[in-house]
Structure 1
Amino acid sequence: MTQSSAQQQQEQPQIEPVFVARQPIFDRAERLWGYELLFRHSAEATSAAFAESSVATSKMVADGFVLAQAGLPPACMLFINFPEALLLDGAAYALPREQCVVEILENVSPTPAVLSACDKLKAAGYVLALDDYFGEADMEPFLALADIVKVDLKGKGRADIEALTRRLSRDGRKLLAEKIEDAETHALVKNLGYALFQGFYFSRPETLSGRKVSGAAASRVKLLSELGKDDYETAALSKIISSDAALSYRLLQFINSAFFSRPFKISSIGQAIAALGQRPLRHWLMAVILSDLSPTPKAKEICANSVQRARLLETLAANSGRSPRPPDSMFLLGLLSRLDALLGMEMARIIAGMPLDDEIADALLGKPNAPRSWLDMASSLEAGEWGKAEHLLGALGLNPQDAARRQAEAQVWTLQTLTSASSSPP
């Protein structure tokens, strides 16, 4: 490790090993409105979220919140699941009421003590949301307190959705449709007046007959795979960047950011390339190229998820000694893994003809192999599927605490990288 690298490592704050998953919530215009946060301390209970009150400490809530909100605009609301123990302990008061939505879990009983705790939170200015609701009688007492009702649509028929929506709409509550899995359901609840939307529909590709990748997008996708090759030369990277004024500006913004804490300013592309090194430069460029593929809010969320996944897989591969492929290949795997959602097409059509390693290509197509297992592990962490993630981490011989730490570091790196990616010359 170089002296500057060691100095950077010392200067950067140590990140608690807390698993954090962020699931996006969109408004009617498909703009990002907020996230639902799911988190768990990797060294504690094995079940999802907060299985025991001893695990669900205020400190963990605060740590997870700080990690998840990094780089988000102040108006972005963050939904946090609160089981009964946390509601009674007053853990929400550790969080800012301007940005925190207290989400009452579906298994919380509306006892007098719980209702009193919720009433005090509401009086203190906190927004309350009732989770996974679909007309359950035992949850009715919470409706009088809930500012937002999250309606669980999974497996529900159109007539039932319409009937419940009419009843809930009478009192003017904000309705959030969750577990939306297809375009038809999204259109239904949007027509019914729902304000907010959450579900796999926003991260899955919408396959359109006859659709193909545009020429510009195809060339960028091919460049991504070319950049992922081990033998890609620094001279070629320099040529790509130097020939694009906006790209050059973005690289200089990135290399001179506070993230690196450099004592002097870098003012040329040559200096930037020398300071970063070939591998970090390639990965930065790949992240920037991916971010340029689509400008929509939904696409930006998918891009951020892809870059974070790529960084997580790369650093785990570099430090575990158990990776099935070199770190660069694992970075490429993560980066390309959501191209189908980003471009709205089937993965097979996107990667056809791309110069990809057979094992990486098979993993992207969902075929079972070692890289695919790593990809599934990363996907489970992102979705907050803690039981599945823990099983996969164990099967892959990866340490959960190390994975949690590297996931947090990947989020910080992604934020910094994509901030530079969105910059443009003044």
Structure 2
Amino acid sequence: MNQYIDIYLGRQPIFNRKMNVIGYELLFRGDAHNNSAQILGGDTASAEVMMNAFGEFGIKDLVGRHRGFINFTEGLLLRENQSFFPKDKVVIEVLEDVKVTPVLIESLEKLKQKGFLIALDDYVFNPELLPLERFADIIKVEIHEVGPKQLIEHSKRLRAQGIKLLAEKVETREQFEYCAKLGFDYFQGYFFAKPQIIAGRRLPTAKLTVLELLSNVYDPEVDMHKLSDIVGRDVALSQKLLKFVADTGSENVHIHSIHDAVLRFGLNRLKSWASMLVLAGVDDKPLELLKTSLLHAKFCELYGEKVSRHAKESFFTVGLFSCLDAVMDTEMKTLLEKLHLDESICKALLAEQGELGLALKTVRAMEQGQTGFDLPQGLTPNMLSEMYVQSMHFAESIKLG
């Protein structure tokens, strides 16, 4: 039976000079009582904000006709060139602790080319961040961290470049009027409103289903029908996708099926969405554990293509589920009793029996540096090494974080 999970999101309005709302910053919140960000990996927190905003609450209900300002860590900026979210509903906030590198600059250039608005968050005029100013539509200045002289000097310089200025942590009318006099365009802080905690509920998403979706969207021979089948097997995944497509598409277009939604979403956005789902759901698990599952899945699939009468999908499933007990913190036998998998797959996972089990046993032996194991029929050590390297590249190519 599906148990609903309570979810929370912080929403703080951003105002213009006339004190009209022009957008909302969307913030990670772990519970209903603590109105501040709890300690959590930055990538995971941002991913969870996005998944809840677009897949659960609905971005239109959260921000109306405005935009949502969302924090982007360095890790997310380096991987979001195929963004799943619409450019007219999001302002990408570049956090102040990013490292200015050629790769980051390239990523920002691509996001700008796609039409995204970019804000520099908590800006304190650090000279090392100057190269980022040319990408900024908005610069958010934490006014308590900047002296009056700096504030006057840099606000004039930035306004001359056509950059909009947003004063953060405005707590009094005097601060608001002072920043407005300096030419600031937007304002955010307790003088206007504290972040509002918005509560909701969602269905749990099966981690291994998300992982299976992630691995398949990166398959060069991807079959969109197969992707639709994977999404359709999980009620929570289906709901998230349908919610997003309905919320960001035309009101005159009606979705006829999960496959219809998958096609409208498109492969590139599916890649970004799937990797973000993984990030949002594995804050309690090391990503290397999921990479190991993917490596095992690919190796077993390649193995099966060369030596077996079984369908390669069965080999892939054995490899993908090989770390299921560690991912789910439950004994493998207990998990398999609920999954209704074919007996040959269960025997492979529980005791490395049969042809499927030999594939799993082989990849585990290679990981442990063993050399004395029996070679599968028709395969040489060089062939196994090549398959393992290919599987490593496959697992690394998938953007888990």
Asked if TM exceeds 0.5, the reply is: no
TM-score between the two structures when normalised by the length of structure 2: 0.43
TM-score between the two structures when normalised by the length of structure 1: 0.41
Is the radius of gyration larger for structure 1 or structure 2?
A: 2
Larger relative contact order (Cα-Cα within 8 Å, sequence gap ≥ 6): 1
